[in-house]
Amino acid sequence: MVTAAGEIRTTPSGTTKLEFKPKSSGMIPRGLTLAAVIIITIMLALILGNIAISGSHIISWEFLTSPPENGMESGGIGPAIFGTVALVILMTIAVVPIGVLTAIYLHEFTRTTSFATRMVRLAITNLAGVPSIVFGLFGLGFFIGFIGNGIDSVLYSGDGPVWGQPAIIWASLTLAILTLPVVIVATEEALRSIPQELRDASLALGATRLQTIRRVILPEALPGILTGAILAISRGAGEVAPIMFTGAAYYLPFLPSKLTDQFMELGYHIYVMATQSPDVEATKPILYGTVLVLLALTFLLNFTAILIRSRIRSKRAHV
């Protein structure tokens, strides 16, 4: 007879004994996992190494601060760096509050089994699977065509387009919608990790639900919220398709100073140099240098957010 622990056998003398089956060592799953890790690490090292070797020799202070020249065959990428940083900051300011409030509403104020909650979660899931180019077309039609032209018709009638044209504000809002599911999911996971006893204790001491959320739940969930912001920055900084229609420019002789200005962006700049340059070989060193700067800038933004998250966690651990 076979049991969960092993197999019961009857000896020739009539006695029974339990023989334990040796458990599988799991060598095959561990070996496959290790092989996958090694392959992915090698691929990442080859990609980063190729970019670093090909682009590091062109990096200089002049390259990082000067604008492109001679059809982008010389000069630098200063305006593109400025535009990328401004775009990411505006996107983060727009997406984090909306994503956090949505996650708090779904987790703290609604029932999981309700029809409305299920529909909202289904919409968030579908939003995460929409191709990025669709977000660009949505931003062009909704933000620029509807909202921007609507503002112009009310405030600037007959003076030409002011808000109803591609601009950094519309590009950042389009990216905010693109990264909204990331922030919502990360914040909800952080809220689920908070013990229910903390909520019950706060309410038992006389705090209202809003006071509990503001003074107990949000401080505990802040590291998870920052994780969502980090993921949003990582995705938004490298997206090109949504901003092609909503604000990115091929070349600008000035830096954006208003929300209605167009801007240069590193990802779009890379796309332009790789596909539109009259001499791709001449622009290849600048292309590799721009890719290296984009990776370094993304890592720097992520590292800054991770450092802030770590400091918050350490302070919470010592409280």
CATH of the domain at 287: 1.10.3720.10
Distance CA 226, CA 22 (A): 45
User: Measuring CA to CA, how many Å separate 113 from each of 72, 107, 199, 223, 285?
Assistant: 56, 12, 21, 28, 56
Report pLDDT for 94: 93
Q: 280 is in which domain, residue-wise?
A: 35-317
Give yes or no for a contact between 254 and 264, defined as CB atoms under 8 angstroms apart: no
Residue 281: is it exposed, middle or buried by C-beta count within 10 angstroms (0-12/13-18/19+)? exposed
> How far is it, in rounded angstroms, from Cα 13 to Cα 228?
67
Of 247, 263, 229, residue with least CA distance to 136: 247
Number of structural domains in the chain: 1
Segments of the chain scoring below 50 in pLDDT: 2, 4
Q: Considering the domain boundaries, does residue 172 fall inside one?
A: yes
Question: Domain for residue 104, yes or no?
Answer: yes
* Measured CA distances, 261 to 83, 167, 290 (Å): 10, 5, 23
30 domain residue, yes or no:
no
Please tell me the predicted confidence (pLDDT) of residue 18: 53
Q: How far apart are CA 251 and CA 246, in angstroms?
A: 15
Q: Is residue 229 part of a domain?
A: yes
Predicted confidence at residue 2, as pLDDT, reads: 47
pLDDT of residue 16: 60
The 10s digit of each residue's pLDDT in 83-128 is 999 999 999 999 999 999 999 988 888 877 778 888 888 888 888 8
pLDDT recorded at residue 40: 94
Q: Looking at residue 23, what is its pLDDT? A: 53
